[in-house]
Structure 1
Amino acid sequence: MRPPHFILLLLFILPTTLTAQDRWPGFLGAGASPIKADTIPTQWSPEQNIAWKAGIPGYGQSSPVIWGDQVYVTSVEGPNKEQLHVVCYSLKSGKQLWDHVQPSTNPEKNSVYISRAAPTPVLDENGIYAYFESGDIVALSHAGKLKWTASLAKRYGAPQNKFGLSASPVQWKDRVIVLIDDEGPSYITAVSKADGSELWKTDRKSRASWSSPMIVPVGEAQQVVCSSAGTIDGYDPQTGKQLWSYAQVGGNNKTSPLPAGNGEFLIGASPGREGDNNELAKKSNGLFVVKQQDNAWQPGFVWTNASPTPSWGTPIVYRGHAYWVNRVGVVYCLNAGNGESIFTSRIKESCWATPVGIGDHIYFFGKNGVTTVLKAGNTFEIVAENELWTEDAPPVNNVPTAEETTAERRRASAMFSRPTLYGAGVVNGYLVLRTGSQLYCLQQLAAGR
């Protein structure tokens, strides 16, 4: 039985300082350092360019984050997700450096239908700030020393979304900003990096959504932008004041408003399972911009295109092109300036992770472990299709064993009994991919390694 606080392993090998020169410090690489394309492989297989693999205790759906020569993941463990893990590994060797474990203040059944350590942490020079869908936030130093914990469930009430929460926090200066869009009380709040205290809290209309907020540069300032279940909203990160809201959207409850320029970001939207929001969702995929005119904010679409629909992967802009990928692996490439379709083609797998542009290539991380590398540009050109594991890959850890009550849930449980690729982190020389219970580090290795 692990102790209820933290476990420090191999502390003596930790560096005394970490450089921020190479970093992937948040969800979708927000605040990431520049990447030299020739240091990242475009081809790999179980026998080629995999530098190391490492097991993760429990199970998690968050993306890896990287600071200096350390990589971090979060996970949950136990039949009621009662143990929360923040785990640190050596980026060079894959050796586990430490594992902080603490009890959840809001345990709930561990099920494939409920998010499991879905929010991605944020990093700065002082350490890691990890938020869990239970409402728990934990702050640790890079050496794994506990700084503080806070429970939003105790502070504001437990979430009621039957599928759990997955919005990742963002950071701005001295604060971590968390979005809780829920069937119960919904809000956005900023907590102090110093001690976890509330700096501000702004209530929102109740809704079911899993999209994450983003920090978007607008003019000389920055805003917290939320695209979530029927509205797009901008907030002042200093005060929490809502600056503007745009309500002519629908189906925007999964993907995040990744910045694409000054005041610009893409919106991704798709109809629900029952076809709800179908017509409005078709009008909600496009480039959005926020401008200030006569001391008033003017939000609106620059263009929309009815063709693309995303699943979980956020649409991106890269080298003048906008890319969407849907739930069956269809890639939509549009002109980022005017929204005109350039090509629509299918890759081998659907993607839960968001694509990443590196150099002349776009990496599409397939849900079942096949990463398709496309040539960036006006034509659909597959550079490589890279398998991360073979068909006989072992079952994942911590798959709930409780009997599911419906045929649909039993099918979902069987689907998640195999590895699922959830996210990526990239710094010079390293591409780190994460499944529910394993980390993979890819490097451009010499032949035969």
Structure 2
Amino acid sequence: MRPLLFVLFVLSLPLSLSAQEKWPGFLGAGASPLKAETIPTQWSVEKNVAWKAGIPGYGQSSPVIWGDQVYVTSVEGPDKEQLHVVCYSLKSGKQLWDHIQPSTYPEKNSVYISRAAPTPVLDKNGIYAYFESGDIVALSHAGELKWAASLTKRYGAPKNKFGLSASPVQWQDRVIVLIDDEGPSYITAVSKADGSELWKNDRKSRVSWSSPMIVPVGEAQQVVCSSAGSIDGYDPKTGKQLWIYDEVGGNNKTSPIPAGNGEFLIGASPGREGENNELAKKSNGLFVVKQQGAAWEPQFAWTNASPTPSWGTPIVYQGNAYWVNRVGVVYCLNARTGESVYTSRIKESCWATPVGIGDRVYFFGKNGVTTVLKAGNEFEVLAENELWTEDNPPVNNVPTAEETSAERRQGVAMFSRPTLYGAAIVNGYLVLRTGSQLYCIKP
């Protein structure tokens, strides 16, 4: 552990954390309401960038925010043997502490395998960070280790050659982790108090990188997983599987963000070789779960064969549903009917998920250009914001290795470019993250 703590920081900690501003999990699950006037529409390398901060190692997770603090995770070392949880001042960008945890399952640090891909979750007691090595680290907001647990030691090592990336979700006193893998697959809940198992439910083996979400269904909440051939609902208290829908395919990247009570979008892609092409055409749409007596009725309210997502999850905002494909084409559909509203192209594809704020929708391009569209039924670009330039790219601590084939060298060149992975937003602050750099945008 390498804490960088200061007496004044420690003394002011309870006051700073009493603020209600938060973006406490993947895709903003549980985030504070946003006031549109506090988030800028335009920025550039010279304008509205409040601060930049380097991140040790490399990570693909999104930042998270609690009060005056922003947190990220990363990995470092030739075998990803060091797991970082790093905390910064939201106001200044100053690094407050860096906790380093040894990995219990070291594996080669490569551009071909996930690197700190899962996004952590936060609550008033601290941060819970899960890494693709199977390690879960629980820390206080002051960076003190509360406990560490290894799902790899508990249940076995993952076998996916590209790594795991599903982010955990939280519900009351527990953190829920989905492991969908070529080897043993399961969903499990661990105690926030000590990391012990609260429940575990085995799943069919599969290759997937999608994350579960907590979705309100009726008067309760369910853990919903959309992952490589099925959509499933679980009771977060017991882990009991409540329902399954398996007439779906290509749904191995995006998450089921709630779009209403018992409603969420499903995103599905044909796959690199088109292996999921036919089912994927029937698997992009609005999914609805209803209860009829003691039974659950999961089904698509509508589907549309046109849109396909890349890594960014489709969202519903102000009555419209938005998908972005791998070449930056935005598909805007009517969220009630699935009918096309417009199809237009923005400058870049998005690995991060779009966010709606006020009368606009932010699309965070993977190469650093954020396109701001006017929300509504007309395609209108309000701004195109460049975070870096080609002659001044961000620090990008990617591993280097000799590659023997032209295909591998081409792959390394592609994946070695700086990538905008995620955003965290609270009133007055928009925080963006590349592999090794944080940016804070302010009005």
TM bucket by the smaller chain?
over 0.9
Please show how residues 66-77 of structure 1 align to structure 2 within 5 Å.
66-77=65-76
Partner residue of 1:401? 400
- Distance in 2, Cα, partners of 1:335 & 1:103: 48
Mapping of residues 5-404 of structure 1, within 5 Å: 5-10=1-6, 12-14=8-10, 15-17=12-14, 18-394=17-393, 396-404=395-403
Q: Which moved more, 1:403-412 or 1:27-36?
A: 403-412
Q: Distance in 1 between matches of 2:213 and 2:76?
A: 29
For the 8 Å contact 1:11–1:97, the answer to whether it is kept is no
- Contact 1:11–1:98 under 8 Å retained in 2: no
For structure 2, list consecutive stretches of 5 or more residues without a partner in the other structure.
none
How many residues of Structure 1 are paired with residues of Structure 2 in the alignment? Answer: 440
The residue type paired with residue 148 of structure 1 is W
Q: CA deviation at 1:411?
A: 1.4
The residue type paired with residue 318 of structure 1 is Y
Asked if 2 retains the 8 angstrom alpha-carbon contact of 1:20 and 1:125, the reply is no
Secondary structure at 2:13 match in 1: coil
Structure 1 position 19, deviation (Å): 2.2
Can you list the C-alpha shifts for 1:417-440, whole angstroms capped at 9, x where unaligned? 331100000000000000000000
1-structure distance, mates of 2:416, 2:293: 56
For 2:289, the aligned partner's letter is V
Q: Per the alignment, do residues 20 and 179 of structure 1 end up closer, same or farther by CA in structure 2, a change over 3 Å counting?
A: farther
2:5 alignment partner AA: L
Q: Is the 8 A contact 1:266 1:288 kept in 2?
A: yes
Sort the Cα spacing of 1:258 and 1:11 in 2 relative to 1 into closer, same or farther, 3 A: farther
Offset from partner CA, 1:37-95 (integer Å, 9 cap, x none): 00000000000000000000000000000000000000000110000000000000000
What SS class does the counterpart of residue 16 from structure 1 fall into?
helix
CA distance, structure 2, for counterparts of residue 268 and residue 322 of structure 1: 11
Match of 2:437 in 1: 438
More displaced, 395-404 or 331-340? 395-404
Q: Which piece of structure 1 moves more, 399-408 or 309-318? A: 399-408
Q: Name the counterpart of 1:447.
A: none
* Percent identity between the two aligned chains: 86
Distance, in Å, in 2 between the alignment partners of 1:307 and 1:435 is 30
Q: CA deviation at 1:11?
A: 5.1
In structure 2, the CA distance between the partners of 1:421 and 1:162, relative to structure 1 (3 Å rule), is: same
Deviation at residue 102 of structure 1 after TM alignment: 1.2
Partners of 1:355 and 1:282 in 2: how far apart?
A: 22
Deviates more, 1:173-182 or 1:410-419: 410-419
| Partner Cα separation in structure 2 for residue 383 and residue 389 of structure 1 | 19
Letter in 1 for 2:81: E
Relative to structure 1, is the Cα distance of residues 179 and 62 closer, same or farther in structure 2, using a 3 angstrom cutoff? same
How big is the shift at 1:413? 1.4
Q: State the 1:143 CA deviation.
A: 0.5
> Which residue is 1:414 aligned to?
413
Q: What is the identity, as a one-letter code, of the residue corresponding to 1:417?
A: S
**3-state SS, counterpart of residue 199 of structure 1:** strand
Letter of the aligned partner of 1:16 in structure 2?
A: L
* 1:325-381 deviation line (CA, Å, top 9, x unaligned): 000000000000000000000000010000000000000000000000000000000
Superposed CA offset, 1:142-196 (max 9, x none): 0000000000000000000000000000000000000000000000000000000
* Structure 1, unpaired ranges of 5+: 445-449
Could you report, residue by residue, the CA deviation over 1:270-312 in whole angstroms, capped at 9, with x for unpaired residues?
1111111101100000000100002100000000000000010
Deviations 1:185-232 (A, max 9, x none): 000000000000000000000000000000000010000000000000
8 A contact 2:4–2:95 mirrored in 1: no
After the TM superposition, which parts of structure 1 deviate over 4 Å for at least 4 consecutive aligned residues?
none
Q: CA deviation at 1:401?
A: 1.1
1:35, distance to aligned residue in structure 2 (A) = 0.5
Whether the 8 Å CA contact 2:215–2:222 is kept in 1: the answer is yes
1:372 is paired with a residue whose SS is strand
SS of 1:309's equivalent? coil
By how many angstroms is 1:402 displaced?
A: 1.5
Give secondary structure in 1 for the equivalent of 2:3. Answer: strand
Q: Which amino acid aligns with 1:10?
A: F
| TM-score between the two structures when normalised by the length of structure 1 | 0.97
| Contact 1:60–1:436 (8 Å) recurs in 2 | yes
Work out the CA distance in 1 between the residues paired with 2:77 and 2:396.
11
TM-superposition CA deviations, 1:368-418 (whole Å, max 9, x none): 000000000000000000000111124643211122343332212112333
Cα deviations across residues 209-268 of structure 1 (Å, max 9, x unaligned)? 000000000010000000000000000000000000000000000000000000000000
